[in-house]
């Protein structure tokens, strides 16, 4: 591992330890909760160093960053996960490079991804991003539109719908943050009653993941606590 990124091993161990503690606090098994390292704004060298720790799945906000990093890291067998708002004109690159999209939030995007994935002869996992926060800056599908959206997605064989994703409200008060996570879990449970199996809940980041774990998260998107502060 590069000396410049020697801190990653300690950071990763500390994150996993904190996640495991949050699981135990919530009465859950640590094995139930995965961590998706978010590598946005960090270069190929940092990601290569992280792969030496056994990490091979990384979240990125921008498709352009995946495009820039995929070449230099082609030998690392990385699964790139799109977690940021996705424009339809990026569907071609996503279909070629990404293993998963966690920010699927509208039919126009689903159709664009399906067309490009058909051309590539591929299928990918997707999570539907739901807007659980009142903040205008947050993206996501309106919770009321979720049942109809999931029903339509059943017609697209290239998109394997595995679960839901959300971003909680930014607040120093844990109550509204936890309410966002609880809403996503309740939506998942409600959809299960309508025949939609959605086992994965991607929710919680470096600053609020313990609340997400308490509300049923199966995957946490953690960047800063692993890679450090972004410049």
Model confidence at 229, in pLDDT bands (50, 70, 90)? confident
* CATH for the 3-227 domain, from 3.60.40.10, 3.20.20.10, 3.30.70.100, 3.40.640.10: 3.20.20.10
Whether the pLDDT of residue 20 is over 90: the answer is yes
The pLDDT of residue 172: 93
Note the pLDDT tens digit of each residue in 171-228. Answer: 999 999 999 999 999 999 999 999 999 999 999 999 999 999 999 999 999 999 999 9
Confidence of residue 125 (pLDDT cuts 50, 70, 90): very high
pLDDT higher than 90, residue 3: no
In terms of DSSP H, where are the helices of the chain? 7-25, 44-51, 63-70, 91-97, 107-120, 146-153, 174-192, 209-214, 224-227
Domain ranges of the chain: 3-227
130: which strand partners?
A: 141
B/e letters for 134-159, b = 16+ CB within 10 Å, e = fewer, are: eeeebbbbebeebeebbeebeebebb
Kindly give, in sequence order, each residue whose CB lies less than 8 Å from that of residue 30, ignoring residues fewer than 6 positions away.
19, 20, 23, 24
* Distances 181 to 55, 169, 178, 199 between C-alpha atoms, Å: 26, 10, 5, 15
Matching residue, tokens 């909760």: 33
The pLDDT assigned to 69 comes to: 97
pLDDT at 4: 84
pLDDT given at position 2? 45
Q: Is the pLDDT of residue 167 over 60?
A: yes
């Amino acid at each position: 591992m590069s000396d410049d990124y020697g801190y990653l091993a300690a950071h990763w161990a500390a994150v996993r330890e904190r996640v495991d503690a949050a699981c135990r606090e919530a009465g859950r098994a640590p094995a139930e909760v995965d961590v998706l390292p978010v590598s946005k704004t960090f270069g190929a060298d940092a990601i290569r160093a992280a792969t030496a720790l056994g990490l091979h799945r990384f979240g990125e906000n921008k498709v352009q960053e995946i495009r820039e990093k995929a070449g230099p890291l082609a030998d690392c067998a990385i699964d790139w996960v799109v977690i940021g708002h996705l424009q339809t004109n990026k569907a071609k690159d996503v279909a070629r490079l990404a293993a998963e999209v966690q920010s699927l939030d509208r039919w126009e995007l689903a159709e664009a991804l399906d067309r490009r994935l058909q051309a590539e002869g591929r299928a990918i996992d997707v999570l539907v991003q739901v807007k659980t926060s009142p903040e205008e800056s947050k993206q996501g599908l309106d919770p009321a539109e979720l049942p109809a959206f999931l029903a339509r997605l059943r017609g697209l064989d290239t998109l394997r719908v595995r679960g839901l994703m959300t971003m909680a409200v930014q607040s120093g008060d844990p109550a509204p943050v936890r309410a966002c996570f609880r809403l996503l879990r309740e939506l998942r449970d409600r959809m299960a009653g309508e025949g939609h199996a959605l086992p994965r809940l991607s929710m919680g980041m470096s600053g609020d993941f313990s609340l997400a774990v308490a509300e049923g998260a199966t995957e946490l998107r953690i960047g800063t606590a692993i890679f450090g502060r972004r410049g």
